[in-house]
């Protein structure tokens, strides 16, 4: 998503961050297989380090979960009845893929990682269109 934001000259207007619902890999860089798939398919370098979702993340305008389990875990941290409209599934923004959840590629080899990269690219492109048509005015996107 950050690469698409850079291409659209929106990095100064939109902040994109990533966090997991579990603390397994806190502080670790992206999985080397995901980094390899992103470099080979998209020509982009994945950066950053893993961190866990925290209550302060509800300050973001939109929170995207990869699957229903993560969606539920995120909403468990929210005060009752709050922020439900901010938490969506990533695949809600896909236009080419019909999957409703992003599969976990961890045990599926490189094929799983390339599938996830392609799925996430589709979702990110749809998300960017959604943001530009619903939240940014034409002057904001220039």
d(CA 134, CA 14): 13
pLDDT at site 138: 42
Ordered alpha helix ranges (H), the chain? 2-7, 32-42, 68-77, 109-134
Q: Identify the structural domains of the chain with CATH numbers, from first to last.
A: 2-134 (3.40.50.2300)
Q: What is the DSSP letter of 104?
A: P
User: Please, which pLDDT band fits residue 70 given cuts at 50, 70 and 90?
Assistant: very high
pLDDT digits (tens, 9 = 90+) for 106-129: 999 999 999 999 999 999 999 999
pTM more than 0.85: yes
- For residue 64, the cross-strand partners are 88
């Amino acid at each position: 998503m950050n690469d698409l934001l850079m291409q659209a000259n929106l990095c100064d207007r939109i902040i994109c961050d990533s966090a997991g619902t579990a603390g397994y890999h806190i502080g670790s860089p992206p999985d080397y297989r995901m980094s390899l798939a992103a470099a080979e398919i998209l020509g982009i370098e994945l950066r950053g380090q893993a961190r866990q979702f925290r209550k302060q993340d509800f300050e973001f305008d939109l929170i995207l979960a990869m699957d229903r389990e993560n969606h539920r875990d995120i909403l468990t941290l929210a005060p009752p009845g709050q922020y439900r409209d901010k938490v969506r599934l990533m695949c809600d923004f896909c236009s080419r893929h019909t999957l409703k959840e992003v599969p976990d590629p961890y045990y599926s080899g490189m094929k799983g990682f390339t599938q996830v990269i392609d799925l996430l690219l589709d979702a990110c492109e749809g998300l960017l269109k959604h943001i530009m048509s619903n939240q940014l005015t034409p002057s904001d996107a220039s």
